[in-house]
Structure 1
Amino acid sequence: MEEGADTGVSSRAERKALVKAKMLRRESEREIFRLVGRALKKPEAERSEEEAAALLLHKDTAEELCQRQVRRSVLKRKQEEVIDDADELKNKIRQLAVAVKQANHLVVYTGAGISTAASIPDYRGPNGVWTQLQKGRTVSSSDLSKAEPTLTHMCIRMLHKEKMVKHVVSQNCDGLHLRSGLPRNALSELHGNMFIEVCTACSPVREYVRLFDVTERTSLHRHGTGRRCSHCCGDLRDTIVHFGERGTLEQPLNWKGAAEAAEMADVILCLGSSLKVLKKYACLWCMNRPVSKRPKLYIVNLQVSLVLTFLRK
């Protein structure tokens, strides 16, 4: 019995010693990072002997901190909005107009940037949702049920009416494409629609289009809206693909329509999106084809697109 007790006390002591050693090692590493970081911020001529010695002794740490700074600088540049001068803008508009006119099967991909004129914040712009959250700021909510389709939404709808746009693939949940009059069969809302709730107990799935936001009670993996189907009394759920989820509903997501449109597209026009999310969906970019056989791509966005390197592979 005593030997077993001694063994237990010994193993606990060893675990405590290991935990303490790990904490001391982490604190030592943090101190090294602080010292090297301070040294790197100073011009070489202003560094103390201790700081110069630290940079020589901890070359790997210095290199890692330099790489982090490069990545931060690149990210900051990508978040900056760039506006072309008047002549360059006119030239690009002419090129885009020719491409739209000559396209046999034009598909439009839209992001949050096309809804900012309706006072709906984007995500990665200077005042975007993710940008504000990264800075530790709160994001104010607004009543999106009062938002009206913007000039961009109405132009897209008119281009579809004139048979110049075949399909619209949207990341937006604000419902403004539908409010513009764009037909449901010409639209894929890949992340859902905050004004639509559905009953999946009914076959086919029964839809309820509301004038109010149905997502007031929903969140990640919690889709119940608290209302019931008037036909079968089943629980209604939202159609939103929350961050970290994969969408499974046929409508309004309409993945089939999006994939078929991409397969037939000879021109893809992307409006108001960094494409950071859309680039993950290879089927939308015809990645199974050689680069020369893929649709021509035109991007209209104030920030650098995050999809270009991916598409050149």
Structure 2
Amino acid sequence: MCRLQHTDITLIIMQLNQCKCTVWSSGPAVRGPVVELCAVLPQVTRILKKAEDERTEEEARTLLRHPSAVEQVRGRSVRSGQQRRRREEVCDGVEELRTKVSQLAAAVRCAQHLVVYTGAGISTAASIPDYRGPNGVWTQLQKGQAVSSSDLGRAEPTLTHMCIKALHQQNLVKHVVSQNCDGLHLRSGLPQHALSELHGNMLIEVCASCIPAREYVRMFDVTERTALRRHATGRRCGRCGAELRDTIVHFGERGTLEQPLNWSGAAAAAGSADLILCLGSSLKVLKKYACLWSMNRPAKRRPLLFIVNLQWTPKDDLATLKINGRCDEVMELLMEELDLQIPPYNKAEDPIFHQATPLRPEEELSHTRCLIAPPAGQEDQPPDAQGSAPDAQGHAPPAPQPVQGGWFGRGFSKGRKRKKRKTV
């Protein structure tokens, strides 16, 4: 017996409202059946919610008289169930996980050109929420819940970030293509030439007026005042005086910056890849970038595809192997299989502390974001690294509040927009 949930009823009501808007623009030949279907759907929905032995004879006859409505309601219920199952997290058992990682390790050893694609799932261990997981940003928004604040300045590279860096140092990973904006790949020590940050980096602002574009690495999230099609950060270039902008690519935008997006590096790496390892990405966005999947090659010559994710992805059916596990656990097992040490994150060696450009005195109060704190023994950083000094009256500046970046959680509303239908 098919039972409908509250979400299914909501979908039906929404489609009925759309139906009311469009039915009168259709010809009389179709208007009658459509009106009849719209009228009977709520009744059929109520009947199908009952157990079969609880239905009256009249209700049973109603279902027999309207097979198309029954089919439509049940079809919606099936699709809704599929969507729920796709959102569920599935984790392989211990033995199955080890067996799969052993297969991945064998593929890594044989690969000549391994490219890694990373998503939000590799940063959840750094207390940065993902988007589509059970506690993800968009999942919470869909449920009408408030998104909890995240102090992005306190995040540090995870075990997975450090494993990727080590694999690159061993020449096993040739390139990393990341959808993340948190800057943790660079902070792990992965060189910028081996990284494509397709959606930007929250720690970098640029002057697009300089040729080539001049980068300013900061020790705080620069996206406080930025949003979709509004990228000015409020600071200016120290060389030409032009307004600085962030590097974030929001939904509905096309990234044009050479760095840190590095599309040329990503496309070249994908074109040479014989193995692609996807870590912690739903691939719902990445799948749209055709150049990353070598679809112009014959199927037999395309790279092997290994996916590590707890949820369903649209590339699962094409994958050589799908590993249902958390990225840190899988990567720890992989390094064990490859007999490689995992380098711990050492804050004293974080490149951010020698790459960052200090703010000019007049810019010290230009942000309220939490600063990346220097390691113990390196407190003699420029003012920007430690926060602003007390004002003339001796009052300490307000403590930075835990907040989302201007990029964080964006894009949820785009998928919910529907085309407006003409009414008569």
Smaller-chain TM-score bracket? 0.7 to 0.9
User: Pairwise CA RMSD of aligned residues?
Assistant: 2.2
For 1:229, the equivalent position in structure 2 comes to 237
Which residue identity is paired with 1:272? Answer: G
For 1:7, the equivalent position in structure 2 comes to none
For 2:154, the equivalent position in structure 1 comes to 146
Q: Where do 5+ consecutive residues of structure 2 fail to align? A: 1-19, 25-31, 321-424
Q: Where do 5+ consecutive residues of structure 1 fail to align? A: 1-17
For 1:280, the equivalent position in structure 2 comes to 288
Which residue identity is paired with 2:120? Answer: A
Q: Greater helix share, 1 or 2?
A: 1
For 1:8, the equivalent position in structure 2 comes to none
For 1:5, the equivalent position in structure 2 comes to none
Which residue identity is paired with 1:32? Answer: V
In the alignment, the residues of structure 1 paired with residue 283 and residue 272 of structure 2 have an alpha-carbon distance, to the nearest angstrom, of 20
**How big is each residue's C-alpha offset from its partner over 1:161-213, in whole Å with a ceiling of 9 and x where there is no partner?**
11110000001000000000000000000111111111111110011111111
Contact 1:285 1:311 in 2 (8 A): no
For 1:4, the equivalent position in structure 2 comes to none
Measured at CA, do residues 222 and 175 of structure 1 come closer, stay the same or move farther in structure 2, by a change above 3 Å? same
For 2:142, the equivalent position in structure 1 comes to 134
TM-score of the aligned structures, taking structure 2 as reference length: 0.66
In the alignment, the residues of structure 2 paired with residue 223 and residue 54 of structure 1 have an alpha-carbon distance, to the nearest angstrom, of 57
The higher relative CO (CA closer than 8 Å, separation ≥ 6) is in: 2
In the alignment, the residues of structure 2 paired with residue 311 and residue 272 of structure 1 have an alpha-carbon distance, to the nearest angstrom, of 15
Residue of structure 2 aligned with 1:186, choices 181, 188, 194: 194
Secondary structure at 1:166 match in 2:
strand
In the alignment, the residues of structure 1 paired with residue 62 and residue 219 of structure 2 have an alpha-carbon distance, to the nearest angstrom, of 63
For 1:264, the equivalent position in structure 2 comes to 272
* Cα shift at 1:59: 2.5
* Cα shift at 1:31: 5.0
* Cα shift at 1:33: 2.5
In the alignment, the residues of structure 1 paired with residue 61 and residue 234 of structure 2 have an alpha-carbon distance, to the nearest angstrom, of 64
For 2:44, the equivalent position in structure 1 comes to 36
In the alignment, the residues of structure 1 paired with residue 265 and residue 36 of structure 2 have an alpha-carbon distance, to the nearest angstrom, of 56
* Cα shift at 1:51: 2.9
Contact 2:279 2:309 in 1 (8 A): yes
**How big is each residue's C-alpha offset from its partner over 1:221-250, in whole Å with a ceiling of 9 and x where there is no partner?**
111111111111111111111122221111
Contact 1:188 1:254 in 2 (8 A): yes
In the alignment, the residues of structure 1 paired with residue 256 and residue 61 of structure 2 have an alpha-carbon distance, to the nearest angstrom, of 57
Identity among equivalent pairs (%) = 67
In the alignment, the residues of structure 1 paired with residue 278 and residue 82 of structure 2 have an alpha-carbon distance, to the nearest angstrom, of 22
* Cα shift at 1:272: 0.6
Q: Does 1:248 align with 2:256?
A: yes
For 1:9, the equivalent position in structure 2 comes to none
Aligned length: 293
In the alignment, the residues of structure 1 paired with residue 48 and residue 190 of structure 2 have an alpha-carbon distance, to the nearest angstrom, of 55
Contact 1:171 1:191 in 2 (8 A): yes
* Cα shift at 1:311: 7.4
Which residue identity is paired with 2:233? Answer: T
* Cα shift at 1:32: 2.8
Q: Does 1:51 align with 2:59?
A: yes
Q: Does 1:115 align with 2:123?
A: yes
Q: Does 1:239 align with 2:259?
A: no
